[in-house]
Structure 1
């Protein structure tokens, strides 16, 4: 459950909203807004990778 939860939480809370915002307002955003959205997406990807790695290591090691 932690494996799916860590990935999906970051995907739905950080990555998708920023990606959709960038897509919807692609021609109307300033460079600062684009940069902030890209940074938020990067934080989401890093968080999802860290959570997935943590969950996988607990599964492999047999911890609860």
Structure 2
């Protein structure tokens, strides 16, 4: 195997390494973003329900409505 062959091997290995690294990074970013978006939505929904629940409870207890 000459210099040219090993250089080709190094270049192809570097390319596949970069592609593999990009794939891992992309996969991580997608899963991380996905979980964060999901958690954000869940927190938003929980917050909205808590506000609604608090609102209805405070109306029940407020002397103004009675």
Q: TM-score range by the shorter chain?
A: 0.5 to 0.7
Higher relative CO (Cα under 8 Å, sequence separation at least 6) belongs to 1
Quote the offset at 1:50 in angstroms.
0.3
Structure 1: gaps of 5 or more residues: 1-28
**What are the Cα deviations for residues 3-30 of structure 1, in whole angstroms up to 9, with x where unaligned?**
xxxxxxxxxxxxxxxxxxxxxxxxxx01
For this pair of structures, how many residues does the alignment match?
Answer: 35
Structure 2: gaps of 5 or more residues: 36-66
| Cross-structure match for 2:2 | 30
Please list, as runs of the form range in 1=range in 2, the aligned pairs for 1:1-64 lying within 5 A after superposition.
29-62=1-34
Higher helix share: 2
Task: Determine the C-alpha separation between the residues in 1 that align with 2:23 and 2:11.
Answer: 18
Q: Which has the larger radius of gyration?
A: 2
Q: Please provide the CA RMSD for this pair.
A: 1.2
Quote the offset at 1:41 in angstroms.
0.3
